[in-house]
Amino acid sequence: MFHKQILMKNGVGKANILALGKAFPHQLVMQDLLVDGYFKDTNCDDPELKRKLTRLCKTTTVKTRYVVMSQEILNKYPELALEGLPTVKQRLDICNKAVTQMAIEASESCIKKWGRPVSDITHLVYVSSSEARLPGGDIYLAKGIGLSPDTNRVMLYFSGCSGGVAGLRVAKDIAENNPGSRVLLATSETTIIGYKPPSVKRPYDLVGVALFGDGAGAMIIGSDPTRSERPLFELHTAIQNFLPDTEKVIDGRLTEEGISFKLDRELPEIIEDNVKGFCDKLLGQFGRDGIVGIDYNDLFWAVHPGGPAILNRIEKKFNLGPEKLSASRRALADYGNASSNTIVYVLEYLIEESLKKRNEGKDGGPDLGLILAFGPGVTFEGILTRNLIV
């Protein structure tokens, strides 16, 4: 409950999220069926690795995920399921096409919800850790949805799980410094870039098999909404910090076999040890604009669900009520950790929960909250945000 008065700065000129959109590949994977299918596809019969993946599939809390990988792709590229072969060219051929198509579909969905013509988009921010090419995916997305050649473009490559919030921070800066602008933020990811058969030499790969999913997300961001626009969230203060000497905690390398990821077991603990100071700093910067004080349980939370251990640590650190991270846990269960896309899915669930409460005649929940994500670096991204639906 509130114990101190909160004074909010007038939101004129602040960037708003005006619409959200998402898209997925056609392959829906049920977590209960993943283990048998994965070991069959990779012709592996190691019982210990199979038992370990079975345990991981339960602990990740993921129920369903969408993936680009299909039997058709494995039939065409059987080398992807074999150990030690140079397959980066084949992977990029698949990934580049897949992420573009998903980004187009998510963007078109978002623009349709926004309700204004695509010609009104002035800037594009494109985020992906699943492709590598020149020109980049921003060009192919712009062409695919019919953006004007005058559209100003920014690409964020290989930002990992923090990429969606990093892109939102960049889009916010663009919107607030270019009056009348409308920014399309698009994220698109696929795990094919790192798909590998199970190996006792890489037991940590199984975490990714049990956790990560594919998809795309999109947002329209702009300041001073028009009468025809329906703003969802108002973005106030955005900050980024990296933790010195943690470069190897989230380690990704592009090799001849695709991307190889290694996540340190200490990542959830590192986040727990540093997240309070980061959030205090975020609220402290906003303090200059008039916030007097707030309890963290009086905020809403939109946290990128890197995994259940990270969410559990954050919940414990701030002594949050179990409902505070429900949107993040639902996104994780339904889509897995879809890297930069996932924050879009979390925000959609937050809106759904607020509308449900309002329709039941209840208070829609806190209007002030935090959007958080953690990625390679280790990098923390945070945005203090007002929910305009409540």
Taking the C-alpha atoms of residue 344 and residue 98, their distance in angstroms, rounded to an integer, is 19
Cis before 135 (ω within 30): yes
- Closest of 183, 185, 179 to residue 224, by C-alpha: 179
Q: At what angle do helices 326-335 and 342-359 cross, to 10 degrees?
A: 120
Does the annotation mark 95 as catalytic?
no
Q: Are 321 and 335 in contact (CB under 8 A)?
A: no
What distance lies between CA 165 and its chain's CA centroid?
Answer: 7
As given in the structure block, the two tokens for residue 44 are: 């592996």
User: What sign does the dihedral 353-359-362-366 (CA atoms) show?
Assistant: positive
- Closest of 190, 176, 175, 186 to residue 147, by C-alpha: 186
Q: Show the CA angle centred on residue 161, arms to residues 38 and 202, nearest 5°.
A: 40
Residues sharing a CB contact under 8 Å with residue 99, sequence separation 6 or more, in sequence order: 128, 130, 131, 137, 188, 189, 190, 216
Q: Are 102 and 188 in contact (CB under 8 A)?
A: yes
Question: Which of 57, 95, 161, 279 is the catalytic position?
Answer: 161
- Closest of 345, 340, 22 to residue 162, by C-alpha: 340
Q: At what angle do helices 342-359 and 163-177 cross, to 10 degrees?
A: 80
Phi-psi region for residue 365, left (φ > 0), alpha (ψ -120 to 50) or beta? left
Q: Would you name the residues annotated as active-site residues?
A: 161
